[in-house]
Chains A and B, each alone.
Chain A
Amino acid sequence: MKNNGNMTTLLKGILVENPVLVLILGTCPTLATTTNVAGAFGMGIAALVVLVCSNILISLLRKIIPDNVRIPCYIVIIAGFVTMVQMIVQAFFPALYEMLGVYLALITVNCIILGRAEMFASKNSVGKSALDGIGMGLGFTLALCAMAVIREVFGNASFAGMPIPFFEPFKIAFLVKAPGGMLVYGLLIALVSAVTRGKAPAKTEFSCEGCPSAGNCHTGLCQAKGEEL
Chain B
Amino acid sequence: MDLMKSLIVILLSSVLVNNYVLSRFLGICPFLGVSKKLDQATGMGVSVTAVMLLATAVTWPIQHLLLDRVGLGYMQTIIFILVIAALVQMLELILKRFFPALHKNLGVYLPLITTNCAVLGVAINNITDGYSFLESIVSSLGCGLGFLLAMVLFSGMRSRIDETNIPKPFRGLAVTLIAASFISLAFMGFAGVVDALFA
**A and B touch in their complex, CB below 8 angstroms:** yes
Given contacts A27-B32, A87-B74, contact A102 B112 (CB under 8 A): no
Beta-carbon nearest neighbor of A79 in chain B: B78
Chain A nearest Cβ from B179, distance in angstroms: 8
Main secondary structure of the interface of A (DSSP, over half): helix
Q: Which residues of A contact B90 (CB under 8 A)?
A: none
* Contact surface of B with A, Cβ cutoff 8 Å: 22-29, 32-34, 40, 74-78, 81-82, 85, 108, 111-112, 114-117, 120-121, 124-125, 128, 168-178, 180-182, 184-185, 187-188
Other than A190-B170, A217-B111, give 10 A-B pairs with Cβ distance below 8 A.
A28-B26, A32-B24, A75-B82, A105-B124, A108-B120, A183-B178, A193-B174, A206-B173, A212-B115, A217-B108
Q: Which residues of B contact A79 (CB under 8 A)?
A: 77-78, 81-82
Indicate whether A6 reaches chain B with its CB closer than 8 angstroms.
Answer: no
By Cβ-Cβ distance, the 6 closest A-B pairs, closest first, are A186-B177, A182-B181, A213-B111, A194-B169, A190-B174, A206-B33
Chain B nearest Cβ from A151, distance in angstroms: 12
Q: Which residues of B contact A109 (CB under 8 A)?
A: 81, 114-117, 120
Given contacts A109-B81, A190-B169, contact A31 B116 (CB under 8 A): no
* Contact surface of A with B, Cβ cutoff 8 Å: 24, 27-29, 31-32, 71-72, 75-76, 79-80, 82-83, 86-87, 102, 105-106, 108-111, 114, 177-183, 185-187, 189-191, 193-194, 197, 203-208, 211-213, 216-217, 219, 221-222
Structural contact, A185 and B177, CB atoms closer than 8 A: yes
Structural contact, A178 and B78, CB atoms closer than 8 A: no
Given contacts A186-B174, A186-B178, contact A178 B120 (CB under 8 A): no
- List 29 contacting pairs A-B, 8 Å CB cutoff, sorted by A: A24-B173, A27-B29, A28-B28, A28-B29, A32-B24, A32-B26, A80-B78, A83-B78, A102-B121, A105-B120, A106-B26, A106-B117, A108-B81, A177-B188, A178-B22, A179-B188, A180-B181, A182-B181, A182-B184, A183-B178, A190-B174, A194-B169, A203-B173, A206-B32, A211-B29, A211-B111, A213-B111, A213-B112, A217-B112
Docked complex Cα distance between A187 and B108 (Å): 32
Given contacts A24-B173, A75-B81, contact A221 B33 (CB under 8 A): yes
Docked complex Cα distance between A93 and B92 (Å): 41
Q: Which residues of A contact B76 (CB under 8 A)?
A: 83, 105
Q: Which residues of B contact A182 (CB under 8 A)?
A: 177-178, 180-181, 184
The residue among A29, A108, A110 with the most chain B CB atoms within 10 A of its own CB is A108
Docked complex Cα distance between A178 and B187 (Å): 10
Docked complex Cα distance between A205 and B34 (Å): 10
The residue among B27, B85, B114, B174 with the most chain A CB atoms within 10 A of its own CB is B174
